[in-house]
């Protein structure tokens, strides 16, 4: 990665600068709406639906919601990760001495089992530099094939984080490549924030977003979104699975202390990583994320199925956790009811990616 001393400050202006830098390399993904999903989101849940949940016995919330879906599932490599990877590599090329020191020949390295691996591989191939990607031996074959299709040099490792980190350290020592981390770096954060920046400019002139909700794992997308909304009056929320403690963002915000370890088997496999220190400095340190909300595995499946049936777009489980919060989390829905009243909220929902295998899809939405 570019040296921290050379990175831009974590501000909205820096997200704007990042967008100018990467515009030639990314898609301006579309913003979609769906009146059926809006009606469903604005319909109170029944007492029977709430029975057996933490909201049993509570009067169902009556929010008014108009949803604006930012479709990063239609981004290059099928996920928002392309934004951060392109920005990181373009900034690296601007670092004094990197090219002169043989950086273009040594290339970049990272470890990832999926979207980040593909994003770094694509961005490196566009710049004609080597990409050294460490992938766990348990990675899905389609993801390995996609990463390899961009010309990456793949090295396999054990399945857990220490295995990956040890292997990528060996690769970097051997090649001299520069590490491109998946989320814990300003260049990645600023690149990811460009999705929310675009969303703000793509709405009809008479529409002003009340809030944006994004999935949260390592926190690159969420912290970038928060920076893109800084000073605009737009509230920012994070969404997570609840299974086996995957809601580390929610719990961290409630306690004021970052949780640094998560072990979960949620179907939202892109959201199994705890929030990193640099994203946390934006989310909590700068106070730019209002709250985190979580949803169950069944609610993720239901939201995913609704998107397929009603919107006809391909999304992965991680992509729909924000929508699932808007549809099913009574704490969030109650907040919209209280603050939005009869007018309600215009809520931006980021679909973070659409990389799901056809074999797995049937099982997920069965």
Domain co-membership, 215 together with 344: yes
Report the alpha-carbon distance of residue 63 to residue 343 in Å, rounded: 9
Last residue of a domain, one of 127, 161, 185: 185
Number of domains making up the chain: 2
Three-class SS string for 85-138? HHHHHHHHHHCCCCCCCCHHHHCEEEECCCHHHHHHHHHHHHCCCCEEEEEECC
Report the alpha-carbon distance of residue 91 to residue 151 in Å, rounded: 21
- Report yes or no on 131 lying in a domain: yes
Contacts of 235 (CB under 8 A, 6+ apart): 210, 211, 212, 229, 290
Residue of 14, 42, 70, 81 marked catalytic = 81
113 is a catalytic site residue: yes
> Are 231 and 197 contacting, i.e. CB atoms less than 8 angstroms apart?
no
| CATH classification at residue 252 | 3.40.50.1100
Q: Which domain holds residue 282?
A: 25-78+188-365
Residue of 113, 121, 318, 352 marked catalytic = 113
Query: pTM of the full predicted structure?
Result: 0.96
pLDDT tens, the chain, 366 aa long: 667 778 999 999 999 999 999 999 999 999 999 999 999 999 999 999 999 899 999 999 999 999 999 999 999 999 999 999 999 999 999 999 999 999 999 999 999 878 999 999 999 999 999 999 999 888 878 888 999 999 999 999 987 777 888 999 999 999 999 999 999 999 999 999 999 999 999 999 999 999 999 999 999 999 999 999 999 999 999 999 999 999 999 999 999 999 999 988 999 988 988 999 999 999 999 999 999 999 999 999 999 999 999 999 999 999 999 999 999 999 999 999 999 999 999 999 999 999 888 888 888 887
Domain co-membership, 359 together with 268: yes
Report the alpha-carbon distance of residue 34 to residue 225 in Å, rounded: 23
- Other CB atoms within 10 Å distance of the CB of residue 32: 18
């Amino acid at each position: 990665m570019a040296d921290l001393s050379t990175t831009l400050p974590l501000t909205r202006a820096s997200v704007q600068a990042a967008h100018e830098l990467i515009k030639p390399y990314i898609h301006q993904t579309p913003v979609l709406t769906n009146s059926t999903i809006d009606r469903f989101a604005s319909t109170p849940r029944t007492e029977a639906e709430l029975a057996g949940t933490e909201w049993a016995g509570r009067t169902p919330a009556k929010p008014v919601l108009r949803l604006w879906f930012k479709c990063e599932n239609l981004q290059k490599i099928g996920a928002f990760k392309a934004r951060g990877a392109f920005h990181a590599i373009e900034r690296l090329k601007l670092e004094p001495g990197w090219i002169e020191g043989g950086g273009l020949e040594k290339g970049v390295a990272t470890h990832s089992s999926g979207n980040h691996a593909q994003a770094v591989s694509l961005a490196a191939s566009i710049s004609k530099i080597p990409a050294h990607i460490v992938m766990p031996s348990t990675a899905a074959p389609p993801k390995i094939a996609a990463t390899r299709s961009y010309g990456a040099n793949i090295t396999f490792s054990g399945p857990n984080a220490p295995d990956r980190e040890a292997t990528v350290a060996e690769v970097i020592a051997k090649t001299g490549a520069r590490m491109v981390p998946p989320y814990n770096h300003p260049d990645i954060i600023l690149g990811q924030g460009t999705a929310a920046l675009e969303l703000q400019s793509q709405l009809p002139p008479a529409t002003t977003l009340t809030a944006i909700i994004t999935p949260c794992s390592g926190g690159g997308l969420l912290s970038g979104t928060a920076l893109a909304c800084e000073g605009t009056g737009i509230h920012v929320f994070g969404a997570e699975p609840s299974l086996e403690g995957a809601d580390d963002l929610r719990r961290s915000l409630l306690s004021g202390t970052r949780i640094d370890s998560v072990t979960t088997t949620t179907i939202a496999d892109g959201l199994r990583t705890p929030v990193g220190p640099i994203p946390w400095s934006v989310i909590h340190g700068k106070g730019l994320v209002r709250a985190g909300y979580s949803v169950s595995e069944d609610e993720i499946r239901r939201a995913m199925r609704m998107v397929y049936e009603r919107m006809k777009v391909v999304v992965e489980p991680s992509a729909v956790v924000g929508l699932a919060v808007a549809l099913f989390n009574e704490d969030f829905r109650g907040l919209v009811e209280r603050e939005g009243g009869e007018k309600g909220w215009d809520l931006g929902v980021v679909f973070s990616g659409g990389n799901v295998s056809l074999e797995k899809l049937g099982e997920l939405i069965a």
